[in-house]
Amino acid sequence: MPTAAIAVIGDEILSGKYADENAPFLIGRLRAIGCDLRRIVTLPDEPEVLADELRRLLGFDHVLTSGGVGPTHDDRTFEGVAGALGVPLELHPGLLALLDRSGLAQTETNRRMCLVPRGAELVYGRSRFPVVRARNVWVFPGVPSLLRKKFDDVAEHFAGVPISTARRVTSGRELDVSAGLTAVSARFPGVAIGSYPRWDGDGTRERELVLTLESRDEAALAAAVAAIDDLLAAG
Amino acid sequence: MPTAAIAVIGDEILSGKYADENAPFLIGRLRAIGCDLRRIVTLPDEPEVLADELRRLLGFDHVLTSGGVGPTHDDRTFEGVAGALGVPLELHPGLLALLDRSGLAQTETNRRMCLVPRGAELVYGRSRFPVVRARNVWVFPGVPSLLRKKFDDVAEHFAGVPISTARRVTSGRELDVSAGLTAVSARFPGVAIGSYPRWDGDGTRERELVLTLESRDEAALAAAVAAIDDLLAAG
């Protein structure tokens, strides 16, 4: 299964001026197409920080960035990506041509939007407006409606084998089953088991316990579910 | 102003089984009390990954973790914090006493919840249930109602000097003012200026542009706002 990391970029998210909608959208989409999301980082508009942090994510199959692209002084994502990859920024002929086709003048500001890491490719997917990919870093805009559209244009590049899941809800307390859960988890290493207590609104009483099971191996999943059912019946 | 980083911990967030509510809550609260949030990372329940990632955050004044504490096999936050700090896990006498006071038996499972990094302190704040702090890492539960309560109990520890802000909305396009914004930004280095286009729902047309200004220096903020007003009036 392919792995991915998301970098949400922008001082406006860290300072709470805007709530990030893009990571929640991407989490759901990546899961649906079988891509294993391993990290999300939310970063300020500082090229050196971006370079350091993005460099650490390059070991995942795909790095998806959100935000920090555009014509203003606080749009520093491409500088950060270039720093992470150790390449300079260059005017991309395909993006310059796109300016012309879009009827935008080649002002300094507009040309700035065509400065991308050397070697970057334009991935068109299903749209006539491309997504910029530099090595394995896919650069998406921060505006949620634009990001959603562009992600769906190129989503097939991230697809893997979807996971099978199961879920049990019990009225028991987590403490009463945790030893049993640890044992079941050890018996089925290919099945990821999660345990999530739900509390009353005022946080004083455990209302119920949600158990989740996930695996790409359906037989192992079924066996682990049976073991959990036995555990809950015994409790 | 104190700096902070948030680590949201849990496979259930990365896989989309649960939407994180804690980072959005903490973003708003930290901003309100004048604490400068510099990073958010969302991490899997893997002690080695947690240790590596948390270690990189120790340079901020405060690191707030959310999730991965409790009695089950997937609760690995304390192991990760101990790894980041380079100390072993130890049974904390104060937490063992709390088990007794709460009427919980000293089973292996319950005692596991009392294993915290050597040197950890219990910070009581306004509640009789403490928050565990290991050096500058504050460990909060993942259950949103519990996290909110516990954060508010100890929030005074994170407080700094609040920021003054201003905001302007214009119908102009970002491209038309971006050169002017860059100039204003250069004149007022102590003022953070953000530029956020809003698009129509279908992502085809720029509807308006929101400009935000922030500073701890009120005089500089007022001067920058005046410069922005001149820029918009000239456009």
Q: Which amino acid is at A17?
A: K
Angle of helix B144-154 relative to helix B22-32, nearest 10 degrees, comes to 20
Give the strand pairing for A192-199 and A206-215: antiparallel
Mutate to test the interface with B, among A40, A111, A176 (most CBs of B within 10 A): A40
Q: Residue window 30-69, chain A: list those with CB within 8 Å of chain B.
A: 30-31, 37-44
Report ipTM for this prediction.
0.77
pTM of the model: 0.78
Structure tokens at A215: 């695996």
Report residues of chain A scoring pLDDT below 50.
none
pLDDT, mean of residues B197-204: 74
Residue A62 corresponds to which amino acid? Answer: H
Place of tokens 């491409």: A78
Contacts of B191-197 with C-beta under 8 Å, sequence gap 24+, read: B191/B215, B191/B217, B191/B220, B191/B221, B191/B224, B192/A11, B193/A73, B193/A74, B193/B224, B193/B228, B194/A11, B194/A12, B194/A17, B194/A74, B195/A70, B195/A72, B195/A74, B196/A12, B196/A17, B196/A18, B197/A70, B197/A143, B197/B173
Query: Which of A162-166, B42-46, B71-75 has the lowest average pLDDT?
Result: A162-166
In terms of CA atoms, which chain B residue is nearest residue A176?
B109
Enumerate residues 6+ apart whose C-beta is below 8 A from A178: A195, B70, B71, B72, B73, B109
Percent of chain B with pLDDT over 90: 67
Which of helix, strand or coil describes residue A123? strand
Of the residues B21, B53, B109, the best mutation for testing chain A's interface (the one with the most A CB atoms within 10 Å of its CB) is: B109
Chain A neighbors of B30, CB-CB under 8 A: 16
What residues contact A219, with CB distance under 8 A and at least 6 apart?
none
The average pLDDT across B17-35 equals 95
pLDDT in tens, A143-158: 999 999 999 999 999 9
Calculate what percentage of chain B has a pLDDT beyond 70.
97
Counting one residue from chain A and one from chain B, the pairs whose CB atoms sit within 8 A come to 156
Candidates B42, B108, B193; nearest CB to A39? B42
Q: What are phi and psi of B155, to 5 degrees?
A: -55, -30
pLDDT at position B132 over 70 = yes
Average pLDDT, chain B: 92
Q: How far apart are CA B100 and CA B47, in angstroms?
A: 28
pLDDT for residue B49:
98
pLDDT (average), residues B181-203:
87
Contacts of B214 in chain A (CB under 8 A): 15
Q: Is B64 exposed, middle or buried (0-12, 13-18, 19+ CB in 10 A)?
A: buried
- The pLDDT assigned to A137 comes to 98
Q: Are A106 and A162 in contact (CB under 8 A)?
A: no
Place of tokens 């899941």: A165
Query: Which is it for strands B164-170 and B206-215: parallel, antiparallel or unpaired?
Result: antiparallel
Comparing alpha-carbon positions, the chain A residue that sits nearest to B31 is A15
Q: B144 — phi, psi (to 5°)?
A: -55, -40
- Say whether pLDDT at B96 is over 80: yes
Rounded CA gap, B167 and B179, in Å? 19
Which pLDDT score is estimated for A154? 93
Q: Please tell me if residue B102 touches chain A, with a CB cutoff of 8 Å.
A: no
